[in-house]
Amino acid sequence: MSESAYNIGEGPATRVSLSLPEGTAEAIRSRVGKREFSAFISAAVERELRGQVLDEYLADYENRKGPVSEQAQQRARQVFDEVFAEEGQWPAAS
Q: List, for residues 50-63, the tens digit of each pLDDT value.
A: 889 888 988 898 99
> What percent of the residues of the chain are helix, what percent strand, and what percent coil, each to the nearest 5?
60, 0, 40
Give the pLDDT score at 93: 46
Residue 71 CB partners (closer than 8 Å, separation 6+) = none
Give the pLDDT score at 14: 92
Give the pLDDT score at 37: 95
What is the rounded average pLDDT for all residues in the chain?
84
- 94 confidence band (pLDDT: 50, 70, 90): very low
Residue 10 CB partners (closer than 8 Å, separation 6+) = 89
Whether residue 88 has pLDDT greater than 80:
no
Helix (H/G/I), strand (E/B), else coil: 90: coil
35-53 residue pLDDT tens: 999 999 999 998 898 889 8
